[in-house]
Structure 1
Amino acid sequence: MFTRKPLTLPPQLQWQYQDEPALAEWSLKARPYNTDIANGIFLIFLVICAVVSVWTGEDVAESLGYQLLWGGAMFVILMSAVVSMTHQKTKFAYRLTASGLEFCEWKAFPEWLPTLLKWLAVITGVVMLMLVMVHPAALIGAIAGPGLIGLMYLRMGTSSQFRKMHEQFHQGFHPWSDYTKMIVFRRRSIIGLDFTYFNPQADEGKGRMIDTDRLIYCRKSHYNELIKIIRAQLPDSTPYEEAYIQIYA
């Protein structure tokens, strides 16, 4: 169920209860953080990038054509960097059985990114050289723009540490009896299941119980059906609430 456009799962993923029939299973990409803040930052940088692009275009280029060429190239480069920060997505996979909820979240290094930067360095280099013939001041941009992008490409292509920073894998399971409350956040199609666990590192190593929640990211088309499936597995006494869920990650 819910296998529309499934993601390619990590090879190390093995469902603990794979022999049990799935009540529902799906995979998707989601933004596991406060998107309101991220979208606000994006809009702020959108205005800043537009102003910077127009200002640098007017300063370097003489004709309208070169102004548009320079400003457009600068805007695309800056906004590409902004989007990569404010719209990052993590991959999720879920499997619901009679025993409980199994989940997996992972990030893989985007293999297309070094290729994109390589071609971006080439294209911006050509654009900068064209502008240098019109205005000598563009030489600074020709060095700074394609040069820095080229260094980033070499850094990503040769650094195993950089790749590890952009890779993660986390898998877990909770029986339905662990959950003490269900919260539905309809605006983002998220289901939150509260539970507690013992953290031995808390209170300077003394350990104590921690209250937290497991967030389940869903597609809007499956959201209501998933709510019914999950509520049917929880005890009737489990509190249910429709409210805003604060995402701190």
Structure 2
Amino acid sequence: MFNLNKALELPSQLEWKFSHEPELMAWTIRARNYNTFVANGMFAFMLVVIMGWAYFFYSTSASGEPSFSRLLVSICFYIVCASVISTMTHQRMNFAFRFTKSGVEYCKWKDFPEWALTFLKWLAGITAIVFIFMATIDPSFLLGALIGPGGVGLTYLSMAYSKNYREMHTYYHHYAFKWEEFTQLAIATNREVVDLKYTITMDGDDFETNWSLNVFCKRKTKEKVAELIRSYLSPGVPFIKAKVNVPLSTD
């Protein structure tokens, strides 16, 4: 239903700069290109906060409302909020890497998470059916049907038809580097990353910019990727193994 494991394909908005050259190595991967420790901590904290709010809604609902109805509303609230938070703290970026004799280039992009809309649509439909069925037993469940599934439906509509929300979760970038621009190669010991430090002069600048390129790869291919990169670097470029701190953004 969600197609979470479908193969990655380079979107039409992006293209390779060195497409005329044979590739030495190329692959695509989904990766979390940010500090995962901080993101996981934020997610855990927000889950506790959301749980507190869910309990608050459950305990402060009208006394005449059935406990099962209040429980369903609280659960719906918790699931929706947790799902929205997870799309922010656990989102994965799509990457495509390509090595040629001229250098390293990669594309990164993020498509709008249609699976989240599908999830909310199904959740709203299923919970609405449950509440309507329960309302045949006790009419007070109709209130829960308005609050629970109704809230999920409003969340779905705001995400599906908000242009700003879609633009915030959709973008495309392409980068290209020459081999001589890299000043250090490091194999990360804490993540599946090969880190490359580089020095370049940006267009319009009269000074050099120093930054890092995180090459995300599979655990089994990390050493192979590093060795290939090493063979094309300038003589004397340091090659180390170290803990790598993935930045929040490289833009």
TM-score normalized by structure 1? 0.80
Query: Against the structure 1 CA distance between its residues 226 and 190, is the aligned structure 2 distance closer, same or farther, given a 3 Å change threshold?
Result: same
Query: Against the structure 1 CA distance between its residues 103 and 186, is the aligned structure 2 distance closer, same or farther, given a 3 Å change threshold?
Result: same
The residue identity in structure 2 corresponding to 1:32 is N
Give the match for residue 108 of structure 1: 111
Give the match for residue 3 of structure 2: none
SS for the counterpart of 2:235 is coil
Q: CA RMSD in A?
A: 3.2
SS for the counterpart of 1:121 is helix
What is the CA–CA distance in structure 2 between the aligned matches of 1:131 and 1:58, rounded to whole Å? 21
What is the CA–CA distance in structure 2 between the aligned matches of 1:216 and 1:132, rounded to whole Å? 57
Give the match for residue 175 of structure 2: 172
Deviation (angstroms), 1:154 = 2.6
Deviation (angstroms), 1:143 = 4.3
Counterparts in 2 of 1:50-199, with a 5 A limit? 50-54=51-55, 56-57=57-58, 60=61, 69-127=72-130, 130=134, 139=143, 142-199=145-202
Count of residues in correspondence between the two structures: 240
Contact conserved, 2:28 with 2:95, CA < 8 A, in 1?
A: yes
Deviation (angstroms), 1:82 = 2.1
What is the CA–CA distance in structure 2 between the aligned matches of 1:183 and 1:35, rounded to whole Å? 19
SS for the counterpart of 2:198 is strand
Contact conserved, 2:180 with 2:233, CA < 8 A, in 1?
A: yes
Contact conserved, 2:191 with 2:244, CA < 8 A, in 1?
A: no
Contact conserved, 2:43 with 2:86, CA < 8 A, in 1?
A: yes
Give the match for residue 33 of structure 1: 34
Give the match for residue 228 of structure 2: 229
What is the CA–CA distance in structure 2 between the aligned matches of 1:165 and 1:156, rounded to whole Å? 11
Q: Tell me, which stretches of 5 or more residues in structure 1 are unaligned?
A: none
What is the CA–CA distance in structure 2 between the aligned matches of 1:199 and 1:223, rounded to whole Å? 29
Greater CA deviation, 6-15 or 83-92? Answer: 6-15
The residue identity in structure 2 corresponding to 1:158 is Y
Contact conserved, 1:70 with 1:127, CA < 8 A, in 2?
A: no
Deviation (angstroms), 1:222 = 1.1
Greater CA deviation, 113-122 or 32-41? Answer: 113-122
Deviation (angstroms), 1:181 = 1.1
SS for the counterpart of 1:187 is coil
Query: Against the structure 1 CA distance between its residues 75 and 124, is the aligned structure 2 distance closer, same or farther, given a 3 Å change threshold?
Result: same
User: Equivalent pairs: percent with the same residue?
Assistant: 34
Query: Against the structure 1 CA distance between its residues 78 and 190, is the aligned structure 2 distance closer, same or farther, given a 3 Å change threshold?
Result: same
Contact conserved, 2:13 with 2:172, CA < 8 A, in 1?
A: no
| 1:13-69 deviation per Cα after TM superposition (whole angstroms, max 9, x unaligned) | 332323433221110111111100001112222333344445544555755x66764
TM-score normalized by structure 2? 0.79
Query: Against the structure 1 CA distance between its residues 229 and 15, is the aligned structure 2 distance closer, same or farther, given a 3 Å change threshold?
Result: same
Q: Tell me, which stretches of 5 or more residues in structure 2 are unaligned?
A: 1-5
What is the CA–CA distance in structure 1 between the aligned matches of 2:204 and 2:21, rounded to whole Å? 35
